[in-house]
């Protein structure tokens, strides 16, 4: 099931790219494997630096679902959540995160790039600082399509 939803997150990242945004996507899945939400990056089209896929997803998720439900959910991301998104995931109480492309792998692919300034801090490091609950993390997961969605973009 993890690979299925990771591929779904990458397909959402492809949609974001087609819509003129950064190629990042995320999906939220409940404990029974049902898709609850999907979100893409809207940084460029909305002119919103906080419009990352995971943060967009968490805004909607916390409006719709209780922390008790979110603790049992998994967020799948096409690329490792940044520190801002990791904070939103933590505060939203999501219990598990699975990502395809690691932030370090993305930086390696695109090299120095002023369009992708990153805070170099893994999601694991952010989640480890939480005092209220834990967030299980799996990733990076090797998916060629997670790299392909960035090919030629940067």
The predicted-structure confidence for 134-150, as pLDDT tens digits, reads as follows 999 999 999 999 999 99
Q: Count of H helices and E strands in the chain? A: 7, 5
Does the CA dihedral 56-15-7-43 come out positive or negative? negative
Question: Tell me, what's the pLDDT at 109?
Answer: 86
Question: Tell me, what's the pLDDT at 111?
Answer: 78
Please determine, for residue 117, whether its predicted confidence score (pLDDT) is greater than 90.
no
**Smallest Cα–Cα separation from 65: which of 40, 36, 86?**
36
**Residue 154 lies inside a defined structural domain of this protein:** no
Summary mean pLDDT of the chain: 95
Cα–Cα dist 1/138, whole Å: 13
* Residues 41, 21 contacting (CB under 8 angstroms): yes
Range of the domain at 44: 1-149
Question: Tell me, what's the pLDDT at 115?
Answer: 62
- pLDDT tens, residue by residue, 61-109: 999 999 999 999 999 999 999 999 999 999 999 999 999 999 999 988 8
Q: What is the number of domains present in the chain?
A: 1
Beta strands 136-138 and 96-101, pairing class? parallel
**Residue 108 lies inside a defined structural domain of this protein:** yes
Average pLDDT over residues 106-134: 85
**Residue 12 lies inside a defined structural domain of this protein:** yes
**Residue 8 lies inside a defined structural domain of this protein:** yes
Question: Tell me, what's the pLDDT at 114?
Answer: 57
Which pair of structure tokens corresponds to residue 2? 């993890």
**Residue 138 lies inside a defined structural domain of this protein:** yes
**Residue 105 lies inside a defined structural domain of this protein:** yes
**Residue 113 lies inside a defined structural domain of this protein:** yes
Q: Which residues are part of the catalytic machinery?
A: 54
Please determine, for residue 112, whether its predicted confidence score (pLDDT) is greater than 90.
no
Long-range contacts of 127-136 (CB under 8 A, 24+ apart): 127/86, 127/89, 127/90, 127/97, 130/90, 133/71, 133/90, 133/93, 133/95, 135/89, 135/90, 135/94, 135/95, 135/96, 135/97, 136/95, 136/96, 136/97
**Residue 55 lies inside a defined structural domain of this protein:** yes
CATH of the domain at 32: 3.40.140.10
């Amino acid at each position: 099931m993890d690979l299925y939803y990771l591929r779904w997150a990458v397909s959402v990242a492809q949609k974001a790219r087609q819509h003129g945004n950064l190629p990042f996507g995320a999906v939220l899945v409940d404990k029974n494997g049902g898709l609850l939400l999907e979100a893409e990056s809207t940084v460029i089209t909305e002119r919103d630096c906080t419009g990352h896929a995971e943060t967009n997803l968490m805004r909607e998720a916390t409006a719709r679902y209780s922390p008790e439900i979110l603790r049992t959910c998994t967020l799948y991301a096409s690329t490792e959540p940044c520190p801002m998104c990791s904070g939103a995931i933590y505060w939203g109480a999501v219990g598990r995160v699975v990502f395809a492309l690691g932030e370090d792998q993305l930086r390696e692919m695109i090299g120095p790039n002023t369009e992708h300034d990153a805070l170099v801090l893994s999601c694991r490091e952010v989640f480890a600082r939480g005092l209220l609950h834990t967030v299980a993390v799996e990733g990076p997961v090797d998916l060629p399509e997670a790299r392909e969605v960035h090919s030629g973009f940067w």
